[in-house]
Chains A and B, each alone.
Chain A
Amino acid sequence: MESDLIVVIVVATALAFDFTNGFHDTANVVATSISTRAMAPRVAVGYAAILNFAGAFLSLAVAATIANDVVDPAAVSLLAVFGGLVGAITWNLITWYFGLPSSSSHALIGGIVGATLVANGADAVFFEKGVVGKVMIPALVAPTLAFLVAGTSILVLYRIVARLRPSPVSRGFRAGQIVSGGLLALAHGTNDAQKTMGVITLALIANGSLGAGADPPTWVIASSALAIALGTYSGGWRIIKTTGTRIIKMDAAQGFTSQGAGAAVILASTHFGFPLSTTHVINGGVMGAGAAKRLSAVRWGVAGNIIVAWVLTLPAAALIGAAAYGFISIFGGGAVGPVVVTVLALAAIVGAFLRRAARGAPIPVQSEGGVQA
């Protein structure tokens, strides 16, 4: 009975994490379509939310990686999963508060790994094949690949349309962005929502509700899809308010190639079960499309930020996840620890929002700074 209450808290926390993931990433998904005027902001946000929802049903490979390949589902405890989630959310809030670049996906994996290390020992973490092989190396390869694919694509594209009048070319690529933007939203939904599905499945396995190696139940898939779609839709209203002031300008061809490259990399990686930072991949595509046209158009500091985030997020979230588990375990193995942490976390979140609101809103479109007009 008590463990069921912990499962409910873990599921609610994971879905809240999923919602914030969608909320935070709306900018990445829709900004290119909005900045090239391929779509009106309201249409782009609604379209992205619907395709985020649909994307979550496409595949279960990433969910299987999170549930089975990063930590040992047979050894991990329910409180460790909760500690990991708390670590990830705390790290995300810290980086949000200070405006630091971060990956929600890396924070989630780091948090789970850190909490499991403390709770269940090093044997319960699959460091080599899981953390390094399935997370860290793909996390480095994917943005680089998106950069190269977008860069090469834009060079090929410019050669093909070089002698045409600019007006029909621009109209054509704006129309193409309806497809490429849709694919990017679909890709984002499938990779990111599956991470939540994976964590909830891991919790259900740890609780004994599912057997090791089980796929996520339908209700887990549907609720994760809904949470990320609602987050994307909610996050979009902030983007609509700031359109035209903070979103970068690109031509329609660059928008099409960056979205196409990002979608291709995320979808291919998702098919093979690699949990990526979709933000980093989309940034890689934007920078590649910009750099191929004019090297100086790229804000190379963003590339530096991605590397810093890549190096820092996993260990930092792991440390916080470990600390969170340590704190929870003070209250014993029951539901008291998670309940206390949930109450404290809610109070801290409200406090942080109020303080942030008092100081002024953070820059909502951080990652589109990859290319300047």
Chain B
Amino acid sequence: MISPATIVETKELVQTVVFATVAGIGVTAIFSVAIWGAARYTDLSQEERRLEAGFAAAAAAVALLAVLAAVVIGVIVMTSK
């Protein structure tokens, strides 16, 4: 009797599930924060709430950079094996 664990490359399959879940949900969430920051910056600037607008813009910029970093790291990981 062959156990399923010996057939399936469990470690690789679990890593695939973890990486895809973290990357898929993580990048979407961070990009949503970037959009939230950009939209709030526009609204708050129109209301002349400069400090809060600055925080929203900073959040948008950091989130956007994080998304770009995630994409670059993903491609580097892909090409490293």
Instruction: Identify the A interface with B (CB < 8 A).
Output: 58-59, 61, 128-129, 132-134, 137-138, 141-142, 145-146, 148-150, 152-154, 156-157, 160-161, 164-165, 168-169, 172-173, 176, 179, 183, 186, 190, 256-257, 260-261, 264-265, 267-274
Contacting residues, chain A, for B42 (C-beta < 8 A): 168
Additional A-B contacts beyond A264-B23, A264-B24, A268-B20 (16; CB < 8 A): A128-B2, A128-B7, A138-B13, A149-B21, A149-B25, A153-B24, A156-B29, A161-B32, A168-B38, A169-B35, A256-B31, A257-B24, A268-B19, A271-B81, A272-B9, A272-B15
Min CB distance, B52 to chain A, in Å? Answer: 15
Q: How far is the CB of A36 from chain B (nearest CB, A)?
A: 14
Contact with A along B1-45 (1 / 0, CB 8 A): 010001111001101110111011101110111111011101100
- A133 CA / B7 CA spacing, docked (Å): 5
Residues of B within 8 Å of A168, CB to CB, are 35, 38-39, 42
A61 touches B40 (CB 8 A): no
Q: B35–A172 contact, CB under 8 A?
A: yes
Chain B contact-residue range equals 35 or more
Q: Are the C-beta atoms of B24 and A179 separated by less than 8 Å?
A: no
- Dominant SS at the B interface? helix
Determine the distance from Cα of A137 to Cα of B24 in the docked complex, in whole angstroms.
21
Q: Find out whether the CB atom of A149 lies under 8 angstroms from the CB atom of B31.
A: no
Q: Which 6 A-B pairs have the closest CB atoms?
A: A172-B35, A264-B24, A149-B24, A153-B28, A160-B32, A272-B12
Closest to A262 in B: B24
In the assembled complex, B71 has its CB within 8 A of some CB on chain A = yes
Task: Choose one: A128, A148, A260, A269; the contact of B28 (CB below 8 Å).
Answer: A260
Partner of B24, one of A141, A173, A265: A265
26 CB < 8 A contacts A-B: A58-B75, A58-B79, A59-B81, A128-B2, A129-B6, A129-B9, A133-B8, A133-B9, A145-B20, A157-B32, A160-B32, A160-B33, A161-B32, A161-B35, A172-B38, A179-B67, A179-B71, A257-B24, A261-B28, A267-B78, A268-B16, A268-B20, A269-B20, A271-B16, A271-B19, A273-B12
- The distance in angstroms between the C-alpha atoms of A161 and B33, with both chains bound, is 8
B76 to chain A, nearest CB (A): 10
When the two chains form their complex, are residues B35 and A269 in contact, meaning their CB atoms are under 8 A apart?
no
